[in-house]
């Protein structure tokens, strides 16, 4: 039987260059698994998108990303832009984000490579944000920067509660953001401290959803908005609601939708899968149902 063709897009700089020492092992596992492996090291930021967009239909049986969140996002963006259908694999070089952890992708590089060979395919939704794409979260506001910039081990040691105390301490410094959200028959306008449109079991490991509320391939996002609280008591109640996964509290908005329009956010900074994205006066965020096929470990 003819070998299947696999393109390995590697970011040599990600994960403190951890991937460099493992690359031969990874190609060996994939080769033994019946793939002809072509390795493409990315040369600069954005190069993953450029390379992925050049892939032709049926040129590769699998495209595997070795790198961090940023590289994965670049490759998904390239594939979404070209519209070429291709099965994706992901070998994370650094810390696992909440999305890949939720999909049970292995933290250990050789194990993740073995799962590319033996795993099973799932279809997943992808978010479209203006002309950009994200696989798990688009967010803005207060906790965004802190939650993504803090290393995972620090978050683990401090725990969620300590994290929120940091938030409370800096409440005086948080400038609420005035925005309008339009989704289905909802129109929500007000001052917000934080907002996330996500397709993941949690947002930055901070806002955790009840598992029964989330499906990664149902064509729907989860939207969480935190309004600017009137006083400290209301703020405490909001934080308590988040910690207890009780998102029905006053000051919180939580709903599912397949598309949402955000108006009035020209100067608002967004974070897409942990990467900075510029806001604009009107942004359309759409869930592209079953947009990608990803190899995950066998269940």
Instruction: Give the footprint of Mg ion on this chain (CB under 5 A).
Output: 199, 215, 218, 220
| Closest listed residue to residue 14, CA positions, set 115, 106, 111, 95 | 95
Report the nearest approach of Mg ion to the CB of residue 199 (Å): 5
**What number of other Cβ atoms are within 10 A of residue 105's Cβ?**
23
Q: Are 3 and 36 in contact (CB under 8 A)?
A: yes
Closer Cβ to Mg ion, 191 or 215, answer by number: 215
Closer Cβ to Mg ion, 22 or 137, answer by number: 137
Task: Dig out the tokens for 76 from the structure.
Answer: 């998904």
Closer Cβ to Mg ion, 220 or 262, answer by number: 220
Concatenated DSSP letters for 91-137? Answer: EESSPPPHHHHHTT--SSHHHHHHHHHH-EEEEEEEEEETTEEESSE
How far is Cα 194 from Cα 180, in angstroms, rounded to an integer?
13
Closer Cβ to Mg ion, 117 or 288, answer by number: 288
Closer Cβ to Mg ion, 36 or 218, answer by number: 218
Report the nearest approach of Mg ion to the CB of residue 256 (Å): 7
Report the nearest approach of Mg ion to the CB of residue 139 (Å): 16
Closer Cβ to Mg ion, 137 or 199, answer by number: 199
Report the nearest approach of Mg ion to the CB of residue 126 (Å): 11
How far is Cα 141 from Cα 125, in angstroms, rounded to an integer?
24
Report the nearest approach of Mg ion to the CB of residue 128 (Å): 14
Residue 56 CA: distances (Å) to CA of 8, 61, 86, 124, 222? 15, 11, 9, 21, 33
**Coil, strand, or helix at residue 279?**
coil
Q: At what angle do helices 152-169 and 142-149 cross, to 10 degrees?
A: 150
Report the nearest approach of Mg ion to the CB of residue 53 (Å): 26
Closer Cβ to Mg ion, 11 or 198, answer by number: 198
Report the nearest approach of Mg ion to the CB of residue 167 (Å): 26
Task: Dig out the tokens for 280 from the structure.
Answer: 């604009």
């Amino acid at each position: 039987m003819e070998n299947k063709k696999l393109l390995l897009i590697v970011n040599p700089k990600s994960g403190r260059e951890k991937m460099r020492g493992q690359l031969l092992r990874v190609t060996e596992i994939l080769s033994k698994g019946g793939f002809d492996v072509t390795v493409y090291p990315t040369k600069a930021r954005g190069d993953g998108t450029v390379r992925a967009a050049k892939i032709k239909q049926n040129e590769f049986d699998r495209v595997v990303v070795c790198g961090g969140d940023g590289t994965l996002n670049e490759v998904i963006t390239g594939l979404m832009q070209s519209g070429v259908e291709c099965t994706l694999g992901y070998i994370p070089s650094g810390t696992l984000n909440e999305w890949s952890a939720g999909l049970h992708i292995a933290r250990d590089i050789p194990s993740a490579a073995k799962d590319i060979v033996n795993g099973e395919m799932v279809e997943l939704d992808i978010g479209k944000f203006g002309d950009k794409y994200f696989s798990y979260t688009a967010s803005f506001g207060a906790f965004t920067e802190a939650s993504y910039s803090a290393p995972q081990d620090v978050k683990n040691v401090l725990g969620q509660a300590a994290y929120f105390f940091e938030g409370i301490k800096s409440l005086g410094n948080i400038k609420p953001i005035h925005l309008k959200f339009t989704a289905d028959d909802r129109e929500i306008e007000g001052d917000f401290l934080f907002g996330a449109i996500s397709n993941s079991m949690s947002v930055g490991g901070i806002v955790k959803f009840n598992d029964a509320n989330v499906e990664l391939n149902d064509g729907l996002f989860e939207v969480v908005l935190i309004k600017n609280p009137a006083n400290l008591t209301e703020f405490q109640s909001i934080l308590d609601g988040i910690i207890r996964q009780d998102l029905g509290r006053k000051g919180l908005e939580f709903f599912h939708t397949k598309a949402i329009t955000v108006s009035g956010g020209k100067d608002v900074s967004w974070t897409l899968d942990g990467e900075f994205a510029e806001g604009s006066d009107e942004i359309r965020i759409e869930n592209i149902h079953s947009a990608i096929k990803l190899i995950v470990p066998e269940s």
